[in-house]
A and B are shown apart, each in its own frame.
Chain A
């Protein structure tokens, strides 16, 4: 079997002292890309194979721990010298002068960036259809969306075009495409990975996350990129040293750790039938393997979605105020134009419809008279939710379907904003309360993977990943291969 279908950790081991195998491996990835990229559109910017191989061999020669392994990076994470567009026309020619902290750490550990992945414009969407560069498609069924906003990262990992990818997760943008493309998605505790260099959508919710073939690969990469960052005042220490070793040894003879699963009833209502059944089956299986299951009701959960969108739009309108300045590789000549005309023309032409919608609503929410009515109220709901859910998370992990519905066909969800937003009903909750969360494959429905979401307590990332690994072993559905033409 070719290395291409293996998890990242095995590839790293195989190529560590074998540079030939490394370049062979990268060639194979590019073969896959050549074959499937045109249809699936996982990348916005793909770096030339020879550049990637050269960098990889150099990292390998220097004996760096990740040995030159290629990683895909979502296109809202800043990469020095590599175009970073946020899938927006307004940043089409923006080449950052600096690396995001996570990218810097990956590079220092010997990873190489293979390309920048497709996404919803400024991460505003749940299907990767709002990308200025066109939508990505789901490798399991190309007539369907791969989820979003980190859809491109989901596509390239699931279709073996890269062994792992960085995504970002503001209200589910890592877990949603992970669920839809049948891979492992991990959103750390808020602040657990430095946000320095992550182009902001909603700063108090944004978090960089990992998209891998399973939880062990995620733990491996996490050890290299975690750790407080002096450039991000909100960053925290996740204390994950030694996690990879610990997680790798799970299932080797010793008893698997068990935990309690908390079923919040409100998170299971309104879920599509097939999805409900598939995820509940998984929960039942875990229960029969010794997991405790507890059902509770938290009525406040019903307010999570509007609260999330109020906060996200308000912060987005602020974060996106910077676009229009003549510094992002724009070619429009400022001469003889008044600043109001110049800025509004760049912004009106450069932002897509969904982005404009969110900026305008965000401006409305923050404007005098509405600030307390919407923004402050949403933040109160946020506290209430946290106060209700944290005690539950001290007892166990909240389990739910990752997505309430199966992946829509292209064009199906995008036309109605409220329908689009409703897709995030499960995934926004951890972002609102700062919790870590993962999505892994619970089973299949209609030949499509269905994701199980597990939420842990803030800073409980280490244990969450260990439990995720346990569940992977019990359910036995990781490192899946979509059947592709």
Chain B
């Protein structure tokens, strides 16, 4: 099989139960099979189209505006301490 489901879980930062893993592997295989239909079309000399309108991006003058209120952060974060957003540990169990 082409797809290493565990690797995809790591890339997507998802932890699936065994059952989910089984069901998803099946779907994923099937869908990739569907994507393989693209092998049937001749694409020689065709450039990929990344931006459909091919419009030049707007750029911004270098100016400053006020951002959002501190209160919003305090309300929306799981936890704050002295204005800092409390985050998880940045190292994993094995390293500590």
Contacts and interface: CB of A to CB of B under 8 A. Distances in A.
A binds B: yes
29 contacts: A95-B75, A97-B69, A97-B76, A98-B68, A228-B58, A230-B58, A306-B37, A309-B34, A324-B13, A326-B87, A334-B78, A334-B79, A336-B89, A339-B92, A344-B14, A348-B16, A356-B24, A357-B27, A360-B12, A361-B28, A363-B11, A364-B8, A377-B38, A381-B41, A382-B48, A383-B46, A383-B47, A433-B52, A434-B52
B78 A374 contact: no
Contacts of A365: 35
Q: What is the predominant secondary structure among interface residues of chain A facing chain B?
A: helix
A88 to B, nearest CB: 14
Contacts of B58: 228, 230, 232-233, 235
A418 B12 CA distance: 22
Contacts of A362: 12
Given A303-B40, A338-B88, A330 B78 contact: yes
A328 B76 contact: yes
The residue among A345, A379, A433 with the most chain B CB atoms within 10 A of its own CB is A379
Contacts, number: 182
A380 interface: yes
Interface string A347-370: 110010100110111111101000
Given A327-B76, A344-B13, A344-B14, A364 B38 contact: no
Contacts of B20: 353, 356
B53 A381 contact: no
Contacts of A233: 57-59
B78 A332 contact: yes
Given A309-B34, A345-B15, A333 B48 contact: no
B64 interface: no
Contacts of B77: 326-327
Contact of A236 (B30, B38, B41, B55): B55
A391 B35 CA distance: 27
Given A95-B76, A357-B27, 9 more contacts: A97-B76, A98-B68, A236-B53, A326-B88, A342-B88, A344-B14, A360-B5, A360-B11, A380-B49
Interface string A76-105: 000000000000000000110110000000
A191 interface: yes
Nearest to B9: A360
B63 to A, nearest CB: 11
B22 to A, nearest CB: 13
Contact of B79 (A306, A335, A336): A335
Interface residues of B, number: 55
7 interchain residue pairs of minimum CB distance: A379-B48, A383-B49, A434-B52, A342-B88, A233-B57, A363-B11, A334-B88
Contacts of B13: 321, 324, 340, 343-344, 347
Nearest to A313: B31
Contact of A204 (B3, B35, B52, B60): B52
A309 B38 CA distance: 11
B24 to A, nearest CB: 6
Given A191-B55, A324-B13, A327-B85, A307 B38 contact: yes
A384 B72 CA distance: 46
Contacts of A331: 78
A398 to B, nearest CB: 16
Contacts of A379: 48-50
A328 B73 CA distance: 9
A432 interface: yes
A433 B54 CA distance: 11
A364 B47 contact: no
A374 to B, nearest CB: 6
A423 to B, nearest CB: 14
